[in-house]
């Protein structure tokens, strides 16, 4: 089967030099991964292993693949979103790093799934997911291959939710590590990574001034928190919509206005979704939106804004700029949708900056090495990242930033363990 597979399916092999230069630029911002690279080269913890990844094909992912290859793995990658692939990076991965890549920016749904199946045809022993599409296709269509799998990793909140649902239904047949839940992942990547890159995507797509504008964020998880803060930093008046009372309270005490999205829609110049749920912005919101309102999504799937409903309501639609679709409603109001409702940070910008992906992917690389050692012994459920890996990533990152921290004295350490000492 393997010999009949194309080695890759990429859009622009001639763009490898451009991709290589950008991968190396990102590498210079990824000191933790660089250290792991040296260790993996020395110790070859992945010797002979086949790894399949369904990840955004970006410069940062290329550097993760570079580390896995240094550890001795054969790596095959497909995209975890049809619009996030950086074609120059895909070309450089194939040319310079010996990675098999099946990903073309703008691929349709059929090609997207064909590419996932091409990665599956490599018979991966460890899988890496960002959204759980690879592992769920393996369960649905190739259950016979599941016993070849030592373990899987999941990079994003939405994927972890899907996998926990599979585990609850007794359907999960491999151990999965929720890399998303590592503290050195979501506290930084989801908050500062998406915070910066979602704003970057919105600004690149629209070039509209944010200062003084009303900017609504739907969802106050780590991603929503990051976006709300960065929008405020650019001078926007920020509203938060949230269904979970504790988070809503936190948003209020963080100084944001909190209200139902229907009210927010009537006031907003920008509305950005970061909830992980579907149809968060829907017909009732379109009905009251201001003329010119910009809509963007920062959640994993393109379901948060009800785009089919928007298309139905529209009497006209045009593309005034790259990544902007403008819908004109019957009463003449214009609603501007960015990046087809897909992840605005990866479609209209370049995804999270390398310095945060450094930590996310350092977790990934070390979890992969751990699964290579321990996977066979692990029960088929969703596991946390081992605490020592999470802490090691934090220590390494501090070290590479040149930051030192204090140590507890033995007396202080004992005090924290004891219940005998009091006032
Ligand atoms: N997810 C968000 N940003 C990313 C990036 N730069 N690379 C890979 N996955 C990402």
Residue 183 exposure: Cα atoms within 13 Å on the Cβ side: 11
Q: 276 C-alpha vs ligand 1 centroid, how far in Å?
A: 17
Helix (H), strand (E) at residue 158: helix 157-168
pLDDT at 417 over 90: yes
Confidence grade of residue 4 (pLDDT, cut at 50, 70, 90): low
Q: Is residue 423's pLDDT more than 60?
A: yes
Pocket test for ligand 1, best of 346, 348, 362, 364 (most atoms within 8 A of CB): 346
Please state, in angstroms and rounded to a whole number, the distance separating the CA atoms of residues 136 and 166: 9
Tens-place pLDDT, residues 312-366: 999 999 999 999 999 999 999 999 999 999 999 999 999 999 999 999 999 999 9
Nearest-CA neighbor of 328 among 343, 341, 311?
311
Mutate to test the pocket of ligand 1, among 25, 60, 344 (most ligand atoms within 8 A of CB): 60
How far does the centroid of ligand 1 lie from the alpha carbon of residue 202, in Å? 16
Cα first-last separation, the chain: 71
> Rounded distance, CA 37 to CA 44, Å?
10
161-186 burial by CB neighbour count: b if 16+ within 10 A, else e?
A: bbbbebeeeeebebbbbbbbbbebbb
Q: What value does the mean pLDDT of the chain take?
A: 97
Substitution site in 157, 179, 351 for ligand 1 pocket (most atoms within 8 Å of beta carbon)? 351
Q: Is the pLDDT of residue 231 over 60?
A: yes
> Is the pLDDT confidence value at 16 over 80?
yes
Q: How far is the CA of 67 from the centre of ligand 1 (A)?
A: 16
Give 257 Cα–ligand 1 centroid separation in angstroms. 30
pLDDT in tens, 86-121: 999 999 999 999 999 999 999 999 999 999 999 999
pLDDT of residue 190 exceeding 50, the answer is yes
Query: Tens digit of pLDDT for each residue in 276-314?
Result: 999 999 999 999 999 999 999 999 999 999 999 999 999
User: Residue 103 C-alpha to ligand 1 middle, in angstroms?
Assistant: 15
Question: Measuring from each residue's beta carbon to the nearest atom of ligand 1, which residues come in under 6 Å?
Answer: 56, 58, 60-61, 193, 346, 351-352, 357
Question: Regarding predicted confidence, which is higher, 423 or 186?
Answer: 186
Angle at 407 between CA 401 and CA 412, to 5 degrees: 155
Sorted by where each starts, the structural domains of the chain and their CATH numbers stand as 2-185+352-400 (3.40.50.1480), 194-347 (3.40.50.720)
Residue 312 CA, ligand 1 centroid: distance in Å: 32
Give one DSSP letter per residue of 69-123, joined into a string.
HHTT-EEEEEESSTT---HHHHHHHHHHH--EEEE-TT--HHHHHHHHHHHHTT-
């Amino acid at each position: 089967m393997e010999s009949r597979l194309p080695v890759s399916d990429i859009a622009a092999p001639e763009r490898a030099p451009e991709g290589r230069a950008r991968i190396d630029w990102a590498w210079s911002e990824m000191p933790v991964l660089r250290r792991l690279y040296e260790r993996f080269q020395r110790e070859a913890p992945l010797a002979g292993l086949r790894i399949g990844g369904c990840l955004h094909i970006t410069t940062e992912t290329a550097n993760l693949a570079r580390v896995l290859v240094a550890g001795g793995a054969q790596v095959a990658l497909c995209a975890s979103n049809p619009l996030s692939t950086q074609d120059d990076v895909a070309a450089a991965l194939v040319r310079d790093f010996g990675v098999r890549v099946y990903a073309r920016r703008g691929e349709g749904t059929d090609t997207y799934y064909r590419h996932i199946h091409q990665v599956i045809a490599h018979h991966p022993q460890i899988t890496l997911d960002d959204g759980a599409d690879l592992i769920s296709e393996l369960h649905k269509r190739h259950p016979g291959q599941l016993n070849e799998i030592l373990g899987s990793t999941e990079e994003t909140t939405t994927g972890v939710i899907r996998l926990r649902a599979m585990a609850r239904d007794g359907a999960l047949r491999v151990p999965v590590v929720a890399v998303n839940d590592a503290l050195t992942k979501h506290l930084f990547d989801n908050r500062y990574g998406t915070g910066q890159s979602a704003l970057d995507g919105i600004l690149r797509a629209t070039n509209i001034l944010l200062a003084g504008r009303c900017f609504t964020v739907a969802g106050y998880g780590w991603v929503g928190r990051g976006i709300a803060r960065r929008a405020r930093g650019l001078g926007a008046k920020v509203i938060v919509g949230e269904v979970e009372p504790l988070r809503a309270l936190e948003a209020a005490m963080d100084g944001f206005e909190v209200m139902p999205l229907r009210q927010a829609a009537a006031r907003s110049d920008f509305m950005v979704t970061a909830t992980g749920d579907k149809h968060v912005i829907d017909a009732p919101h379109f009905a009251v939106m201001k003329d010119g309102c910009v809509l963007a999504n920062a959640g994993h799937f393109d379901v948060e804004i009800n785009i089919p409903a928007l298309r139905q309501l529209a009497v006209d639609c045009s593309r005034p700029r790259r990544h902007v679709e403008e819908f004109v409603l019957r009463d003449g109001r214009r609603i501007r949708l960015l990046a087809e409702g897909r992840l605005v940070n990866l479609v209209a910008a370049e995804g999270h900056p390398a310095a945060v992906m450094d930590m996310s992917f350092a977790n990934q690389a070390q979890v992969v090495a751990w699964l290579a050692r321990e996977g066979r012994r692990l029960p088929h459920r969703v596991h946390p990242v081992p605490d020592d890996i999470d802490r090691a990533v934090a220590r390494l990152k501090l070290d590479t930033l040149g930051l030192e921290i204090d140590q507890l004295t033995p007396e202080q350490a004992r005090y924290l363990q004891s219940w005998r000492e009091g006032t």
